[in-house]
Structure 1
């Protein structure tokens, strides 16, 4: 199933590597009601007779807190790209939730705005060196799920995930203030791959 955009969102289906799951889906829609409707439709598919739900994560697209207000048309294009993204048709995906720590000696929320902005600027400088190698989408989940943000990375090779995450670990936004509970990686699944799953389970 290819990624698609029809004015109201896009999606990406992938085969999860490892024991955490077999099949993963990222679905972007404008409203929570639309997501709930899609979830209900999926549970009615014959394939779901052979599946057991693993985990889920709910978040919203957003523009970064530390990017400032757009001043030019190019800035507004940047905002729209982040608020209404179209997921890329790349072969590999990595998803992980994250939060900023709130513990004595490392409480992100007691830092001043300028301190937080500088830490995130240093962090983002590393990310920009991977432009064209990593496609990154950060979504907000404070009050919506167990952690504060969801980070989704796409790449042509999974080695890029290891490289960018390892490099960012040395910057204070991650090394001192970041919490990263788990990671999920997988391979993009197209229509042929999905049909194979349907046929194998149907014939079984």
Structure 2
């Protein structure tokens, strides 16, 4: 076994996008579809693996794996490409990122100053600061070490902050960036319970600066949240987006049937 390769902070997030070469499917050996499904089933026991059948021409299969050990993500990629179905299952795109906390969250010290300014003092002040610190610690841990739910739909897209002229995100001072992200987050919180997002950082790791994965029960909620948040200044002035891929969660056995591999068995 290779030595684990773990980031100093956060977990690795690997998205793999696969396309089925249907002309090659008849040439696969008997049992190839079952072998491919078995690879996914075994990896779902070893790491946090989410399996989706993708809609549209960009991919037939979308896999999302989250793990503290990058070497396991690499091994998963190898096994997916080395299955008996490999001649008909082509890796056409991938995306690598790391889970991360937010630099814009309020610190306990800032919250203490805010409460003191509101006239809170003494034991009540300390109690409320301690409760806030506990909430923020859990919030950060959930972002760094996410356990994503088995919701029916997923949407993945990459994004970056714009760096054009007066619309240069990186020329803004910290308080202004924090204000914009606070407003942006407030729009997203209106979809609590309907859309859950994982935003992972990819600056220096992939073509864009972030990978965004949205989980939902209803496709209309994905459409609505993206539309709504486009009006936030943080998006309207400072955001660029890559391609969007929509996936329907499937078991490995159902996946191979839906994408046209199972007929080889």
* Same fold (TM > 0.5): yes
Question: Does the 8 A contact of 2:52 with 2:255 survive in 1?
Answer: no
1:83 aligns with 2:107: no
Unaligned runs of 5+ in 1: none
Unaligned runs of 5+ in 2: 1-39, 109-131
Alpha-carbon displacement from aligned partner over 1:70-123 (angstroms, at most 9, x marks no partner) = 652222111111111112101111000000001111000000000000000000
* Aligned pairs, number: 201
Structure 1 residue 132, shift from structure 2 partner: 0.1
In the superposition, the TM-score normalised over structure 1's length comes to: 0.91
Matches of 2:51 and 2:169, distance apart in 1: 34
Q: For residues 21-60 of structure 1, what are the structure 2 equivalents within 5 Å?
A: 21-60=59-98
Structure 1 residue 201, shift from structure 2 partner: 4.7
Q: For residues 1-204 of structure 1, what are the structure 2 equivalents within 5 Å?
A: 9-69=47-107, 72-194=133-255, 196=257, 200-203=262-265
In the superposition, the TM-score normalised over structure 2's length comes to: 0.71
Matches of 2:104 and 2:236, distance apart in 1: 19
RMSD (Å), alpha carbons = 2.1
Matches of 1:134 and 1:61, distance apart in 2: 18
Structure 1 residue 29, shift from structure 2 partner: 1.1
Question: Does the residue aligned with 1:56 lie in a helix, a strand or coil?
Answer: strand
Matches of 1:105 and 1:117, distance apart in 2: 18
Question: Does the residue aligned with 2:160 lie in a helix, a strand or coil?
Answer: strand
Matches of 1:110 and 1:22, distance apart in 2: 40
